[in-house]
Structure 1
């Protein structure tokens, strides 16, 4: 058996609506939204008695996506949203964009801001980290030329 592809990355949020709007503006498509609960789901995550609202956001090409989750029960136990980029654990998701300046302008309407500045890596990419709603951290990369 071999790995086929990455299906999604999960992000826990307080407001599904704000996160959906942010990732929709970025170019992902809402595939579906539902509530997940029941004994089976707790056996997957280790959180028995969970009730979670989930929204699946797919990349425009249909390959991979973001799973946004809002826990109704149990309550959230930790908040890593403002952790610095050198904190242990998952850091961010990086997206390739065709026009970085336009993307940043559109995301600003959803409260997003560049973490520090847009930089150029050699003659290959323009890059930046962006904090979106709820301090969600993403990276954006525009290939030069």
Structure 2
């Protein structure tokens, strides 16, 4: 038996409103928000008293989703440095294909995004970069040029 699809990637954030604004500026659409609490999330996460707000963001093609989660209780904890370097073990980043990398960077800078390095060209195929966004999230952008 095979999996059906990858449903979403969940990211815990400290400022849900800022994260939603950031990913909306990137071009994602807010699919919905919900308050999550009770026995089911407690059992699923192995925590007691879970109360969180989840914002589900959808890519324009409808195939990709990010679940942005703000924990009200228990309070979210940092796993390591607030802004871990890109070679930290674990989930590294989320990559998005964009039409215009320079325009996207400029728009996201208005929401606090910072380039980790610089825009680099891979052969005659792509322009690529890594950015740090809200809550230290690293995302990559790829613009196909060839």
Q: TM-score, normalised by structure 2?
A: 0.95
Aligned residues: 145
Cα distance in 1, alignment partners of residues 28 and 77 from structure 2: 28
Moved beyond 4 Å, runs of 4+ = none
Provide the aligned C-alpha RMSD in A: 1.1
Distance 1:135 1:40 in 2: 28
In the alignment, which residue of structure 1 is the partner of 2:21? Answer: 21
Q: Please give the alpha-carbon distance, in whole angstroms, between the structure 2 residues aligned to 1:99 and 1:22.
A: 17
Partner of 1:107: 108
Residues in 2 aligned to 1:142 and 1:5: alpha-carbon distance in whole angstroms: 25
Once the two structures are superposed, the pairs formed by residues 1-145 of structure 1 within 5 Å of their partners are: 1-80=1-80, 81-145=82-146
Distance 1:79 1:15 in 2: 17
Q: Please, which moves more after superposition, 130-139 or 54-63?
A: 130-139
User: What is the CA–CA distance in structure 2 between the aligned matches of 1:5 and 1:15, rounded to whole Å?
Assistant: 29
Q: TM-score, normalization: structure 1?
A: 0.95
Structure 2 unmatched ranges of 5 or more: none
